[in-house]
Homo-oligomer: A and B are copies of this chain.
Amino acid sequence: MRRVAIVGVGMSKFGEEWTRGYRDMLIEAGSRAVEDAKLSGAEIDCMYVGTMAPGSLVGQEHIGALVVDSMGLIPIPATRVEAACASGGVALRQGYMAIASGMHDCVVVGGVEKMTDTPGNEVASALGGAGDQEWELFMGATFPAIYALMARRHMLEYGTTEAQMASVAVKNHANSSKNKYAHFQNEITLETVLKSKEVASPLKLFDCAPITDGAAVAILMPYEQAKKHCEMPIEIIASAQASDTLALHSRESMTCIKATQIASKKAYAQAKVTPKDIDIVEVHDCFTIAEIMAIEDLGFFPKGKGGKASEDGKTALNSEISVNTSGGLKGCGHPVGATGVKQAVEVVWQLRGQGEKRQVKDANIGMTHNVGGSGATSVIHIMKRDG
Protein backbone atom coordinates (compact mmCIF):
# COMPACT_ATOMS: atom_id res chain seq x y z
CA MET A 1 0.00 0.00 0.00
CA ARG A 2 1.21 3.49 -0.89
CA ARG A 3 1.33 6.28 1.68
CA VAL A 4 -1.26 9.02 1.11
CA ALA A 5 -1.10 12.78 1.67
CA ILE A 6 -3.42 15.76 1.37
CA VAL A 7 -1.91 18.42 -0.90
CA GLY A 8 -4.71 20.96 -1.16
CA VAL A 9 -7.88 21.95 0.70
CA GLY A 10 -10.70 24.46 0.34
CA MET A 11 -14.23 25.12 1.49
CA SER A 12 -17.15 27.37 0.66
CA LYS A 13 -18.45 29.84 3.22
CA PHE A 14 -20.85 27.76 5.34
CA GLY A 15 -24.24 29.27 6.08
CA GLU A 16 -27.75 29.71 4.78
CA GLU A 17 -26.94 30.06 1.10
CA TRP A 18 -30.41 30.67 -0.29
CA THR A 19 -29.30 31.45 -3.82
CA ARG A 20 -26.67 28.74 -4.28
CA GLY A 21 -26.84 25.07 -5.18
CA TYR A 22 -24.63 21.96 -5.30
CA ARG A 23 -22.70 23.15 -8.34
CA ASP A 24 -21.89 26.67 -7.06
CA MET A 25 -20.74 25.60 -3.62
CA LEU A 26 -18.59 22.72 -4.85
CA ILE A 27 -17.00 24.86 -7.54
CA GLU A 28 -16.11 27.47 -4.90
CA ALA A 29 -14.56 24.90 -2.56
CA GLY A 30 -12.94 22.96 -5.41
CA SER A 31 -11.31 25.99 -7.04
CA ARG A 32 -9.78 26.97 -3.71
CA ALA A 33 -8.44 23.44 -3.19
CA VAL A 34 -6.95 23.26 -6.70
CA GLU A 35 -5.32 26.67 -6.21
CA ASP A 36 -4.09 25.68 -2.76
CA ALA A 37 -2.52 22.51 -4.21
CA LYS A 38 -0.96 24.52 -7.06
CA LEU A 39 -2.45 22.15 -9.65
CA SER A 40 -3.58 22.93 -13.17
CA GLY A 41 -6.45 20.48 -12.82
CA ALA A 42 -5.13 18.16 -15.53
CA GLU A 43 -3.40 16.00 -12.90
CA ILE A 44 -6.72 14.99 -11.33
CA ASP A 45 -7.71 11.44 -12.33
CA CYS A 46 -10.52 10.47 -9.96
CA MET A 47 -13.23 12.07 -7.82
CA TYR A 48 -15.36 11.08 -4.84
CA VAL A 49 -18.24 13.14 -3.50
CA GLY A 50 -19.88 12.60 -0.13
CA THR A 51 -23.46 13.81 0.08
CA MET A 52 -26.36 12.45 2.06
CA ALA A 53 -29.75 13.26 0.64
CA PRO A 54 -29.78 15.27 -2.61
CA GLY A 55 -32.50 12.97 -3.95
CA SER A 56 -34.93 13.80 -1.14
CA LEU A 57 -33.82 17.40 -0.77
CA VAL A 58 -33.59 18.65 -4.36
CA GLY A 59 -34.59 15.70 -6.58
CA GLN A 60 -31.07 15.22 -7.93
CA GLU A 61 -29.09 11.95 -7.65
CA HIS A 62 -25.93 11.10 -9.64
CA ILE A 63 -24.00 13.85 -7.83
CA GLY A 64 -20.62 12.44 -8.89
CA ALA A 65 -21.48 13.12 -12.52
CA LEU A 66 -23.04 16.50 -11.68
CA VAL A 67 -19.86 17.64 -9.95
CA VAL A 68 -17.32 16.28 -12.43
CA ASP A 69 -19.37 17.92 -15.20
CA SER A 70 -19.68 21.33 -13.54
CA MET A 71 -15.99 21.31 -12.51
CA GLY A 72 -14.86 20.63 -16.08
CA LEU A 73 -13.18 17.35 -15.11
CA ILE A 74 -14.86 15.02 -17.63
CA PRO A 75 -14.07 12.11 -18.30
CA ILE A 76 -12.49 11.05 -14.97
CA PRO A 77 -14.39 8.53 -12.80
CA ALA A 78 -16.68 10.30 -10.32
CA THR A 79 -18.48 8.42 -7.57
CA ARG A 80 -20.87 9.54 -4.88
CA VAL A 81 -20.65 7.81 -1.53
CA GLU A 82 -23.16 8.06 1.29
CA ALA A 83 -23.26 7.09 4.93
CA ALA A 84 -25.73 9.70 6.20
CA CYS A 85 -23.88 12.46 8.14
CA ALA A 86 -20.63 10.47 7.74
CA SER A 87 -20.80 10.73 3.93
CA GLY A 88 -17.86 13.17 3.82
CA GLY A 89 -15.62 11.01 6.00
CA VAL A 90 -16.48 7.92 3.99
CA ALA A 91 -15.68 9.80 0.75
CA LEU A 92 -12.27 10.72 2.18
CA ARG A 93 -11.69 7.04 2.96
CA GLN A 94 -12.50 6.01 -0.64
CA GLY A 95 -10.09 8.65 -1.90
CA TYR A 96 -7.45 7.31 0.48
CA MET A 97 -8.05 3.78 -0.84
CA ALA A 98 -7.90 4.87 -4.49
CA ILE A 99 -4.44 6.36 -3.91
CA ALA A 100 -3.20 3.62 -1.55
CA SER A 101 -4.17 0.92 -4.06
CA GLY A 102 -2.11 2.50 -6.83
CA MET A 103 -5.17 2.85 -9.05
CA HIS A 104 -5.15 6.66 -9.02
CA ASP A 105 -2.53 9.35 -8.53
CA CYS A 106 -4.53 12.51 -7.84
CA VAL A 107 -7.96 12.25 -6.26
CA VAL A 108 -10.39 15.05 -5.46
CA VAL A 109 -12.62 14.35 -2.46
CA GLY A 110 -15.62 16.62 -2.09
CA GLY A 111 -18.38 16.86 0.48
CA VAL A 112 -21.52 18.90 -0.04
CA GLU A 113 -25.10 19.40 1.09
CA LYS A 114 -27.80 21.89 0.10
CA MET A 115 -30.27 22.08 2.98
CA THR A 116 -32.03 25.45 2.89
CA ASP A 117 -34.53 26.48 0.21
CA THR A 118 -35.26 22.88 -0.78
CA PRO A 119 -38.54 21.95 -2.45
CA GLY A 120 -40.99 20.78 0.20
CA ASN A 121 -38.78 21.78 3.13
CA GLU A 122 -38.39 18.16 4.06
CA VAL A 123 -35.08 18.55 5.89
CA ALA A 124 -36.08 16.90 9.19
CA SER A 125 -37.68 14.02 7.32
CA ALA A 126 -34.71 13.63 4.94
CA LEU A 127 -32.31 13.62 7.90
CA GLY A 128 -34.48 10.98 9.55
CA GLY A 129 -33.38 8.67 6.75
CA ALA A 130 -30.01 8.45 8.56
CA GLY A 131 -31.72 6.38 11.26
CA ASP A 132 -34.13 3.51 10.92
CA GLN A 133 -37.03 4.81 8.83
CA GLU A 134 -39.38 1.96 9.70
CA TRP A 135 -38.62 1.64 13.40
CA GLU A 136 -37.58 5.14 14.43
CA LEU A 137 -38.60 7.97 12.08
CA PHE A 138 -42.01 6.50 11.24
CA MET A 139 -42.72 6.34 15.00
CA GLY A 140 -41.83 10.02 15.37
CA ALA A 141 -38.22 9.66 16.53
CA THR A 142 -36.44 12.46 14.67
CA PHE A 143 -32.73 13.00 15.39
CA PRO A 144 -33.08 15.55 18.21
CA ALA A 145 -35.34 13.02 19.96
CA ILE A 146 -32.84 10.18 19.49
CA TYR A 147 -29.92 12.21 20.84
CA ALA A 148 -32.15 13.51 23.68
CA LEU A 149 -32.59 9.88 24.77
CA MET A 150 -28.81 9.46 24.81
CA ALA A 151 -28.39 12.70 26.77
CA ARG A 152 -30.95 11.69 29.40
CA ARG A 153 -29.27 8.33 29.86
CA HIS A 154 -25.81 9.96 30.11
CA MET A 155 -27.20 12.31 32.76
CA LEU A 156 -28.66 9.35 34.67
CA GLU A 157 -25.59 7.13 34.51
CA TYR A 158 -22.85 9.73 34.96
CA GLY A 159 -24.46 12.83 36.45
CA THR A 160 -23.79 14.88 33.32
CA THR A 161 -25.57 18.24 33.56
CA GLU A 162 -27.33 20.54 31.13
CA ALA A 163 -24.76 23.24 31.94
CA GLN A 164 -21.94 20.85 30.98
CA MET A 165 -23.61 20.18 27.63
CA ALA A 166 -24.18 23.91 27.18
CA SER A 167 -20.45 24.55 27.76
CA VAL A 168 -19.71 22.57 24.59
CA ALA A 169 -21.81 24.98 22.53
CA VAL A 170 -20.20 28.00 24.18
CA LYS A 171 -16.68 26.69 23.40
CA ASN A 172 -17.60 25.80 19.80
CA HIS A 173 -19.06 29.26 19.15
CA ALA A 174 -15.90 30.80 20.64
CA ASN A 175 -13.90 28.84 18.06
CA SER A 176 -16.23 29.49 15.12
CA SER A 177 -16.15 33.24 15.86
CA LYS A 178 -12.48 33.01 14.81
CA ASN A 179 -13.26 31.09 11.57
CA LYS A 180 -14.26 33.19 8.56
CA TYR A 181 -15.83 30.17 6.83
CA ALA A 182 -18.10 29.33 9.79
CA HIS A 183 -21.88 29.56 9.75
CA PHE A 184 -21.91 31.37 13.12
CA GLN A 185 -19.42 34.15 13.68
CA ASN A 186 -20.67 35.11 17.14
CA GLU A 187 -19.73 34.03 20.65
CA ILE A 188 -22.54 32.94 22.97
CA THR A 189 -22.93 32.62 26.75
CA LEU A 190 -23.94 29.67 28.88
CA GLU A 191 -27.16 31.54 29.67
CA THR A 192 -28.02 31.83 25.95
CA VAL A 193 -27.84 28.06 25.59
CA LEU A 194 -29.67 27.21 28.81
CA LYS A 195 -32.47 29.70 28.14
CA SER A 196 -32.92 28.76 24.48
CA LYS A 197 -36.10 27.05 23.29
CA GLU A 198 -36.46 23.38 24.08
CA VAL A 199 -36.19 21.11 21.03
CA ALA A 200 -36.28 17.66 22.64
CA SER A 201 -35.71 17.78 26.39
CA PRO A 202 -32.98 18.05 27.67
CA LEU A 203 -31.67 19.38 24.33
CA LYS A 204 -32.37 23.02 23.60
CA LEU A 205 -31.94 24.98 20.38
CA PHE A 206 -28.32 25.85 21.12
CA ASP A 207 -27.47 22.21 21.88
CA CYS A 208 -28.24 21.37 18.24
CA ALA A 209 -26.11 21.87 15.14
CA PRO A 210 -27.85 24.12 12.61
CA ILE A 211 -29.21 23.39 9.11
CA THR A 212 -26.40 24.64 6.84
CA ASP A 213 -25.45 24.80 3.17
CA GLY A 214 -21.85 24.25 2.22
CA ALA A 215 -19.09 22.29 0.51
CA ALA A 216 -15.53 21.26 1.31
CA VAL A 217 -12.81 19.69 -0.83
CA ALA A 218 -9.50 17.92 -0.18
CA ILE A 219 -7.04 16.78 -2.86
CA LEU A 220 -5.03 13.60 -2.27
CA MET A 221 -1.80 12.31 -3.81
CA PRO A 222 0.69 9.55 -3.04
CA TYR A 223 2.94 10.81 -0.25
CA GLU A 224 6.17 10.46 -2.21
CA GLN A 225 4.80 12.51 -5.10
CA ALA A 226 3.22 15.00 -2.70
CA LYS A 227 6.58 15.68 -1.06
CA LYS A 228 8.00 16.77 -4.38
CA HIS A 229 4.90 18.75 -5.23
CA CYS A 230 4.18 20.90 -2.22
CA GLU A 231 5.92 22.45 0.76
CA MET A 232 3.92 20.80 3.48
CA PRO A 233 1.96 17.69 2.52
CA ILE A 234 -0.16 16.36 5.38
CA GLU A 235 0.01 12.59 5.55
CA ILE A 236 -3.06 10.52 6.38
CA ILE A 237 -1.54 7.99 8.77
CA ALA A 238 -4.78 6.14 9.57
CA SER A 239 -8.19 5.56 8.01
CA ALA A 240 -10.69 3.40 9.87
CA GLN A 241 -14.44 2.85 9.74
CA ALA A 242 -16.88 0.74 11.74
CA SER A 243 -20.62 0.08 11.86
CA ASP A 244 -23.29 -0.48 14.48
CA THR A 245 -27.05 -1.10 14.45
CA LEU A 246 -29.07 1.43 12.52
CA ALA A 247 -31.61 1.85 15.33
CA LEU A 248 -30.60 3.12 18.77
CA HIS A 249 -32.92 0.67 20.56
CA SER A 250 -30.92 -2.33 19.31
CA ARG A 251 -27.73 -1.33 21.12
CA GLU A 252 -26.23 -2.54 24.38
CA SER A 253 -25.52 0.98 25.58
CA MET A 254 -27.03 4.38 24.86
CA THR A 255 -24.16 6.34 26.38
CA CYS A 256 -21.42 5.41 23.96
CA ILE A 257 -21.00 5.07 20.21
CA LYS A 258 -19.49 1.60 19.89
CA ALA A 259 -18.60 2.13 16.22
CA THR A 260 -16.44 5.09 17.32
CA GLN A 261 -14.69 3.01 19.96
CA ILE A 262 -13.94 0.23 17.45
CA ALA A 263 -12.87 2.52 14.59
CA SER A 264 -10.65 4.65 16.83
CA LYS A 265 -8.87 1.59 18.27
CA LYS A 266 -8.09 0.49 14.71
CA ALA A 267 -6.97 3.98 13.75
CA TYR A 268 -4.65 4.34 16.76
CA ALA A 269 -3.11 0.96 15.95
CA GLN A 270 -2.67 1.81 12.27
CA ALA A 271 -1.07 5.19 13.07
CA LYS A 272 0.93 3.76 16.01
CA VAL A 273 -0.19 6.59 18.31
CA THR A 274 -2.29 6.89 21.47
CA PRO A 275 -4.93 9.47 22.42
CA LYS A 276 -2.20 11.41 24.27
CA ASP A 277 -0.39 12.00 20.95
CA ILE A 278 -3.36 13.76 19.34
CA ASP A 279 -3.03 17.55 19.48
CA ILE A 280 -6.26 18.55 17.76
CA VAL A 281 -9.46 16.70 16.94
CA GLU A 282 -12.56 17.57 14.98
CA VAL A 283 -15.38 15.50 16.52
CA HIS A 284 -18.95 15.02 15.33
CA ASP A 285 -20.96 17.33 17.62
CA CYS A 286 -24.33 17.18 15.86
CA PHE A 287 -25.65 17.75 19.40
CA THR A 288 -23.63 18.87 22.43
CA ILE A 289 -24.07 15.44 24.05
CA ALA A 290 -22.47 13.90 20.95
CA GLU A 291 -19.23 15.81 21.58
CA ILE A 292 -19.20 14.69 25.21
CA MET A 293 -19.66 11.04 24.19
CA ALA A 294 -17.08 11.40 21.40
CA ILE A 295 -14.24 12.70 23.59
CA GLU A 296 -14.91 9.75 25.92
CA ASP A 297 -15.24 7.12 23.15
CA LEU A 298 -12.05 8.36 21.48
CA GLY A 299 -10.15 7.87 24.74
CA PHE A 300 -9.37 11.50 25.58
CA PHE A 301 -11.34 11.33 28.84
CA PRO A 302 -12.74 8.38 30.85
CA LYS A 303 -16.36 7.38 30.18
CA GLY A 304 -18.65 9.67 32.15
CA LYS A 305 -16.06 12.42 32.60
CA GLY A 306 -16.58 14.18 29.25
CA GLY A 307 -19.16 16.64 30.57
CA LYS A 308 -16.96 17.74 33.46
CA ALA A 309 -13.90 18.01 31.19
CA SER A 310 -15.84 20.25 28.80
CA GLU A 311 -17.08 22.43 31.63
CA ASP A 312 -13.56 22.72 33.05
CA GLY A 313 -12.23 24.04 29.75
CA LYS A 314 -10.08 20.99 29.01
CA THR A 315 -11.26 20.91 25.37
CA ALA A 316 -10.78 24.60 24.59
CA LEU A 317 -8.12 25.93 22.21
CA ASN A 318 -4.62 25.14 23.52
CA SER A 319 -5.88 23.21 26.53
CA GLU A 320 -5.44 19.47 27.20
CA ILE A 321 -6.85 18.61 23.78
CA SER A 322 -8.13 21.24 21.35
CA VAL A 323 -11.54 19.93 20.28
CA ASN A 324 -13.38 21.32 17.26
CA THR A 325 -11.09 24.22 16.51
CA SER A 326 -13.23 24.98 13.42
CA GLY A 327 -16.24 25.55 15.66
CA GLY A 328 -17.48 22.01 15.05
CA LEU A 329 -20.87 21.19 13.64
CA LYS A 330 -22.47 23.54 16.17
CA GLY A 331 -20.47 26.66 15.36
CA CYS A 332 -19.10 26.08 11.87
CA GLY A 333 -22.37 24.54 10.67
CA HIS A 334 -23.40 21.09 9.49
CA PRO A 335 -24.09 20.66 5.76
CA VAL A 336 -24.24 16.92 6.40
CA GLY A 337 -22.31 15.53 3.44
CA ALA A 338 -19.69 18.30 3.68
CA THR A 339 -18.91 17.90 7.37
CA GLY A 340 -16.49 14.96 7.17
CA VAL A 341 -14.40 16.69 4.51
CA LYS A 342 -14.55 20.05 6.30
CA GLN A 343 -13.08 18.35 9.36
CA ALA A 344 -10.10 17.26 7.24
CA VAL A 345 -9.75 20.78 5.81
CA GLU A 346 -9.56 22.25 9.32
CA VAL A 347 -7.04 19.67 10.52
CA VAL A 348 -4.83 20.35 7.48
CA TRP A 349 -4.97 24.09 8.13
CA GLN A 350 -4.06 23.61 11.80
CA LEU A 351 -1.19 21.22 11.05
CA ARG A 352 0.19 23.67 8.49
CA GLY A 353 -0.10 26.56 10.96
CA GLN A 354 -2.80 28.29 8.92
CA GLY A 355 -5.40 28.33 11.71
CA GLU A 356 -5.30 32.14 11.97
CA LYS A 357 -6.78 33.44 15.26
CA ARG A 358 -7.73 29.92 16.31
CA GLN A 359 -4.31 28.34 15.60
CA VAL A 360 -3.28 25.71 18.13
CA LYS A 361 0.39 25.84 19.18
CA ASP A 362 2.61 22.93 18.11
CA ALA A 363 -0.13 21.00 16.39
CA ASN A 364 1.61 17.95 14.92
CA ILE A 365 -0.99 15.22 14.88
CA GLY A 366 -4.70 15.74 14.24
CA MET A 367 -7.78 13.54 14.04
CA THR A 368 -11.19 13.68 12.40
CA HIS A 369 -14.24 11.83 13.75
CA ASN A 370 -17.34 11.69 11.57
CA VAL A 371 -20.55 9.90 12.59
CA GLY A 372 -23.53 8.75 10.51
CA GLY A 373 -26.97 8.75 12.11
CA SER A 374 -26.99 7.98 15.81
CA GLY A 375 -23.73 6.05 15.44
CA ALA A 376 -24.42 3.31 12.88
CA THR A 377 -21.35 4.54 11.00
CA SER A 378 -18.18 6.07 12.43
CA VAL A 379 -15.14 7.08 10.38
CA ILE A 380 -11.81 8.17 11.83
CA HIS A 381 -8.78 9.64 10.11
CA ILE A 382 -5.47 10.59 11.72
CA MET A 383 -3.15 13.06 9.99
CA LYS A 384 0.40 14.14 10.64
CA ARG A 385 2.66 16.89 9.45
CA ASP A 386 6.24 16.26 8.44
CA GLY A 387 9.11 16.97 10.82
Contact = CB atoms under 8 A, between A and B. Distances in A.
A147 to B, nearest CB: 16
A21 B73 CA distance: 37
Nearest to A77: B241
Contact of A100 (B80, B103, B130, B258): B103
Given A66-B246, A68-B243, A376-B69, A262 B75 contact: yes
Given A61-B52, A82-B82, A69 B245 contact: yes
Contacts of A262: 75
Nearest to A82: B80
A280 to B, nearest CB: 24
A93 B94 CA distance: 11
Max count, chain B CB within 10 A of own CB: residue among A79, A128, A245: A79
Nearest to A125: B59
A269 to B, nearest CB: 14
A133 interface: yes
Interface residues of A, number: 65
A20 B81 CA distance: 25
Contacts of A100: 101-103
A126 interface: yes
Contacts of A161: none
Copies of this protein, total: 2
A128 B250 CA distance: 36
A126 B55 contact: yes
Given A83-B65, A94-B79, A97-B97, A133 B377 contact: no
A42 interface: no
Interface of A: 1, 21, 52-56, 58-66, 68-69, 73-84, 90, 93-94, 97-98, 100-103, 125-126, 128-134, 137, 240-247, 250, 258-259, 262, 372-373, 376-377
Given A56-B59, A76-B242, 18 more contacts: A59-B128, A61-B82, A61-B129, A62-B83, A62-B129, A64-B83, A65-B84, A65-B377, A68-B243, A69-B250, A69-B376, A74-B244, A74-B245, A75-B244, A77-B243, A78-B83, A82-B82, A100-B101
Top 10 nearest A-B pairs by Cβ distance?
A101-B101, A65-B376, A77-B241, A61-B129, A62-B84, A60-B133, A55-B56, A75-B242, A55-B55, A80-B82
